[in-house]
């Protein structure tokens, strides 16, 4: 099965954060976006923004794509058909997020098959107003995720993933025994420690809660890192509500 080039492209995925100074052709950019458009969708509820300003782009990447949930242009079509939008914004956002995320992933896979590397930037929703100002976005367009892309100047190893027994559950959700959880944690942590991932990046998240620091880079790894994120960050959804409201989405009201 691994001799299948599509499967191998997927299995070999890795995030790339360093790029050579080589422009990406218009033909390849067009191909990337067209490949993204062929992803499964509910309503093609997305738009893609592009910056080729490597000096300003994160990581000095030749390309910066911003994939947005876009209700604005679809509402133009509804108006042409003399329909009024009645679906609530929470439902629209769920379907729009699916559409935009699937498109972005298709672009990543297509890019890798063409020799490009990429890295997702997940904080776009928290900077939606800044991105909107930069790209002159109308209301009802919400930046979901950004994607840097270019020709790699690094070749990092593939990062660990959970074992299949912690991921694929057939017929019913299993009892998550301590042994199963411990094995999943061990696979992730030992994999990242073997690559010296967090030490090489000096990427330990500081503790901001009342907990004593007991980890060094000898044992600080993925499970502690991800627990510190979701055990400390974003306890209040107010910031996201504000960003959504600034972009014209209100997820708490019936239309």
Confidence at 1, pLDDT banded by 50, 70, 90: low
Does the CA dihedral 150-154-158-159 come out positive or negative? negative
Pairing mode, strands 63-70 and 46-51: antiparallel
Span 65-70, mean pLDDT? 98
Distance, first Cα to last Cα, the chain: 49
pLDDT at residue 94 in the model? 97
User: What are the φ and ψ backbone dihedral angles of 114, each rounded to 5 degrees?
Assistant: -105, 10
Write the burial class of residue 194 (CB in 10 Å: 0-12 exposed, 13-18 middle, 19+ buried). Answer: exposed
Mean pLDDT of 189-212: 97
Residue with tokens 């604005």: 72
Q: In this structure, are strands 141-150 and 46-51 parallel, antiparallel, or unpaired?
A: unpaired
What integer pLDDT is reported at residue 3 of this predicted model? 84
Helix ranges, 41-88 (H): 72-80
CA 195 to chain centre: 23
Please name the residue that has the structure tokens 């950004």: 146
The pLDDT, as a whole number, for residue 233 is 96
Q: Tell me, which fold does domain 5-155 have in CATH? A: NADH Oxidase (3.40.109)
pLDDT at residue 50 is higher than 90: yes
- Cα dihedral value 103, 115, 146, 65, nearest 10: -80
Residue 195 has a CB neighbour count (10 Å cut-off) of 16
Distance (Å, whole) CA 40 – CA 99: 7
User: Is the per-residue pLDDT at 124 higher than 70?
Assistant: yes
Q: Which single residue is written with the structure tokens 């947005």?
A: 68
Please state, in angstroms and as integers, the Cα–Cα distance from residue 89 to each residue in 85, 153, 214, 216, 248, following that order.
Answer: 10, 42, 44, 45, 9
Is the pLDDT at 204 greater than 90, yes or no?
Answer: yes
Share of the chain above pLDDT 90, in %: 97
pLDDT in tens, 181-191: 999 999 999 99
Structure tokens at 61: 């990447």
pLDDT for the residue numbered 2 = 59
**pLDDT value at position 255?**
85
As given in the structure block, the two tokens for residue 244 are 């959504």
Q: Could you tell me the residue ranges of all domains in the chain?
A: 5-155, 164-232
Q: Are 209 and 229 in contact (CB under 8 A)?
A: no
Residue 45 near residue 96, CB atoms below 8 Å: yes
Residue 25 CA neighbour count, 13 Å, CB half:
5
């Amino acid at each position: 099965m691994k001799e299948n080039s599509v499967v191998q492209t997927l299995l070999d995925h890795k995030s790339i954060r360093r790029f050579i100074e080589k422009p990406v052709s218009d033909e390849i950019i067009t191909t990337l976006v067209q490949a993204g458009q062929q992803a499964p969708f509910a309503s093609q509820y997305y738009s893609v923004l592009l910056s080729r300003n490597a000096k300003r782009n994160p990581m000095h990447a030749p390309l910066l794509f911003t994939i947005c949930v876009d209700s604005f242009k679809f509402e133009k079509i509804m108006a042409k058909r003399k329909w009024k939008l009645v679906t609530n914004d929470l439902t629209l956002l769920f379907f729009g997020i699916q559409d935009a995320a699937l498109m972005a992933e298709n672009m990543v896979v297509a890019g890798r098959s063409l020799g490009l590397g990429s890295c997702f930037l997940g904080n776009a929703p928290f900077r939606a107003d800044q991105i909107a100002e930069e790209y002159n976005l109308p209301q009802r367009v919400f930046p979901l995720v950004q994607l840097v892309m270019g020709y790699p100047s690094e070749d990092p190893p593939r990062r660990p993933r959970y074992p299949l027994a912690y991921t694929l559950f057939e017929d019913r959700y299993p009892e998550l025994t301590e042994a199963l959880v411990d094995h999943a944690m061990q696979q992730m942590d030992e994999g990242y420690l073997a690559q010296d991932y967090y030490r090489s990046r000096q990427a330990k998240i500081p503790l901001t809660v009342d907990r004593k620091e007991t980890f060094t880079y000898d044992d600080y790894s993925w499970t502690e890192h991800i627990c510190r994120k979701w055990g400390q960050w974003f306890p209040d959804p107010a910031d996201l509500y504000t960003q959504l409201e600034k972009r014209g989405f209100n997820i708490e009201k019936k239309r």
